[in-house]
């Protein structure tokens, strides 16, 4: 057996000497004995040593997640604080709300959510936070917050369509989505003098159907506001009596 191995080594050495005439026998034998060097590997996958697909996915989610003690936005809110703000706001809003204090808290959480999403775009906890944001902002009956609820819905169904929250949101808007907000209050009409008949009031223009892929809009008309009684203007000799007192600023509608 040893003779056969020596004979094979001699054949390889001769072949190398023929292909590389300048190589010495020692170099040829060393070249025959040394294996071909493998290319240097690329950047190592930090989760490459996992033993299963499930473990690999868990490792990736861990590396893509924001730390629990990292804070975002001007008010420095953690991702858990963002979720709690949205959940508490949904309870405080009841059926609907236009409370400016509640809106301010929610908008600080929205800012923190955007900062979080920009720094950790693949964080697996983001879909949950967007879903909780939809639940509260759809209860805030002001146009900016209703538009924000629709924006959150679009993020869920386009960026996270395969998550539980993306699938649930897509199913919830299968029949359409309607935004609700209050119109500006108007002054109540002045009572007509006795015997004067009111002019025929034109019928209200129906809300147009939404464009494809856009939400419907329910514009709520609040009760009219009674103007405060104006004081009789004092008219000095030679002055014009055409200047009347202005009504007080419109009050906000109450629930």
pLDDT, tens digit (0-9, with 9 covering 90-100), for 75-104 = 999 999 999 999 999 999 999 999 999 999
Residue 123 makes CB contacts below 8 A (sequence gap 6+) with 64, 65, 66, 79, 116, 117
Q: How confident is the model at residue 45 (pLDDT cuts 50, 70, 90)?
A: confident
Which spans in the chain are helix H? 2-19, 25-33, 53-64, 79-93, 100-119, 126-137, 143-159, 164-172
Give the percent of the chain with pLDDT over 70.
Answer: 62
Per-residue pLDDT at 143: 94
Per-residue pLDDT at 61: 58
- Of residues 98 and 69, more confidence is placed in 98
- Of residues 158 and 69, more confidence is placed in 158
Measured torsion, CA atoms of residues 98, 103, 150, 111, in degrees rounded to the nearest 10: 170
Whole-angstrom distance, CA of residue 26 vs CA of residue 183:
94
CA triple 201-204-206, angle to 5 deg: 165
- The CA distances from residue 161 to 60, 88, 192, 224, in Å, are 19, 26, 58, 44
How large is the average pLDDT for residues 18-41?
49
On average, the pLDDT of the chain sits at 76
Q: Phi-psi bin for 201: left (phi > 0), alpha (psi -120 to 50), beta? A: beta
How large is the average pLDDT for residues 8-16?
54
pLDDT tens digit sequence for 165-179: 999 999 999 989 999
| Residue 132 clears pLDDT 60, i.e. is over it | yes
Specify the pTM: 0.62
First to last CA, the chain: 100
- Of residues 234 and 44, more confidence is placed in 44
Whole-angstrom distance, CA of residue 31 vs CA of residue 15:
11
pLDDT tens digit sequence for 189-225: 777 787 777 666 555 555 666 677 789 998 888 888 8
* Weakest-pLDDT range from 61-70, 155-164, 181-190: 61-70
Per-residue pLDDT at 201: 57
- Of residues 28 and 162, more confidence is placed in 162
Whole-angstrom distance, CA of residue 150 vs CA of residue 177:
8
């Amino acid at each position: 057996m040893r003779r056969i191995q020596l004979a094979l080594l001699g054949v390889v050495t001769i072949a190398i000497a023929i292909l590389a005439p300048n190589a010495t026998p020692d170099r040829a034998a060393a070249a025959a004995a040394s294996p071909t060097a493998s290319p240097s590997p690329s950047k190592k996958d930090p989760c490459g040593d996992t033993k299963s697909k499930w473990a690999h996915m868990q490792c990736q989610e861990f590396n893509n997640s924001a730390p629990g003690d990292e804070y975002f936005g001007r008010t420095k809110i953690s991702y858990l604080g963002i979720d709690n703000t949205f959940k508490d706001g949904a309870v405080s809003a009841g059926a609907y709300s236009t409370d400016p204090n509640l809106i301010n808290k929610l908008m600080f959480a929205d800012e923190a959510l955007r900062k979080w999403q920009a720094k950790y775009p693949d964080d697996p906890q983001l879909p949950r936070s967007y879903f909780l944001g939809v639940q509260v902002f759809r209860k805030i009956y002001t146009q900016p917050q209703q538009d924000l609820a629709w924006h959150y819905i679009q993020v869920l169904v386009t960026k996270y369509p395969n998550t539980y929250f993306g699938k649930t949101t897509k199913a919830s808007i299968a029949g359409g989505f309607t935004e609700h907000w209050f119109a500006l209050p108007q002054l109540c009409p002045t009572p007509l003098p006795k015997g004067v008949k009111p002019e025929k009031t034109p019928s209200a223009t129906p809300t147009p159907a939404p464009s494809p892929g856009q939400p419907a809009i329910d514009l709520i008309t609040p009760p009219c506001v009674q103007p405060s009684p104006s004081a009789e203007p004092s008219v000095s000799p030679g002055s014009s009596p055409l200047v009347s007192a202005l009504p007080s600023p419109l009050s906000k509608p109450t629930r």
